[in-house]
Structure formats: C-alpha cells, structure tokens
Amino acid sequence: MKKTLKIISSLLTVVLFINLIIMALLVISSKASGGEPQAFGYQIKSVLSGSMEPTFQTGSVIAVKPVEDPSLIKEKDIITFVLEDGSLATHRVMEVIHNGENLLFQTKGDNNEDMDSQPVLAENVKAVYTGFTIPYLGYFIDFAKSSKGTATLLIIPGLILLAYSAVTIYQAIREIDGPKKTTEETEKTA
C-alpha cells in the first residue's frame, strides 16, 4: 500500500511539473510571438468559426507551417491568410491565379456555399495547414491566453506543487525523527 501511494505520488509530481513547464512555454511563446503559440516551427491556431466544418470543428486547434514560398501552394491546400481587417482566416484554395507578376488564391470555406469575395494575395498568406487537428483544445488555449487562464494554469499547479513538496518534506522529517525519538525513549527507560 505504501509503495503504491509512493508511485502515485511520484506520478502526480511529474504530471504537475510537466503541466507547469508546458503552460509556461505556451504562455511565453504566445507572448513572444505576439500571437498564437509556436512549437518546433509550427504555429498552433484556434479555429474560431464553423466555415471549415467538417474538416475541423469550431474550437479545434490546428497546426500550420509558416509559408516560405507561396508559389508552392496548390489547389486543395488549406491556407491561413490575413483579411482586410487584419484578422486571420483559414480556408481551402479553390484556384491558383497567375495575374501577370501577381500570384492570387481564390479560397472558400468548406462549409460555405460561395467562394470568398476577394482573392488572396500571395503576400497575405501566412501559413499552410499541416493536417494536424485536436478538437476542442482551442477553447482551452484561448482560456490559457487570457489573464485569468494564465493565472489559473500557472499559479495553481505551482501552488499545488509547493504544497505537495511541503507535505513530502514534513513526512520525511517525521520518518527521520521517529526512529530518533524511539531510541531516546529507550535510553531514558533503561
């Protein structure tokens, strides 16, 4: 029983510590990049609308790779691009348009009936979808990026880890003092 509790205790410590490290890295990465978190050269984007359903659901997280050469983008690729208002959209390329020296992409959301009203200029394309999606994780990441989420996901696991460390130290001191007190009591009675 004691060995089982020790194993569970160790696993809990590792999980809390890993959570603390991952959350710190995500928060630092998103603050440093001024936007979405990044890992291993991929950007993590939250899906905010249902325009690409069923390819990915609202609230999902998708991994995209920043575009280095827009000329490599082809029909059926899913791209993330900047809209006129500065926000980002992720839609499927329906047509690649070569207009003189300009490269444009006609896009459409999989769940939309009509094509997007404006073709996307190649310089407005920021990333290409890699095929990696995690449903509903976007809600969690949006919460983590908020001030309440940052506090909750960094401070609370840190406090739990500190409390757990205090309990472990207290138990270790009790185990060390236990045999010592027994030896002292034996010597007094003798």
Which residues have CB under 8 Å from 23's CB, separation 6+? Answer: 144, 153, 154, 157
Which residues have CB under 8 Å from 71's CB, separation 6+? Answer: 103, 122
- Active-site residue (options: 49, 71, 146, 165): 49
Ramachandran bin of 24, using left for φ above 0, alpha for ψ from -120 to 50, beta for the remaining angles:
alpha
Q: How far apart are CA 70 and CA 101, in angstroms?
A: 13
CA atoms within 13 A on the CB side of 98: 5
Q: How far apart are CA 96 and CA 74, in angstroms?
A: 7
Residue 49 appears among annotated catalytic residues: yes
Q: E strands, 87-164, where?
A: 88-99, 102-108, 120-121, 125-134
Q: Catalytic site residues?
A: 49
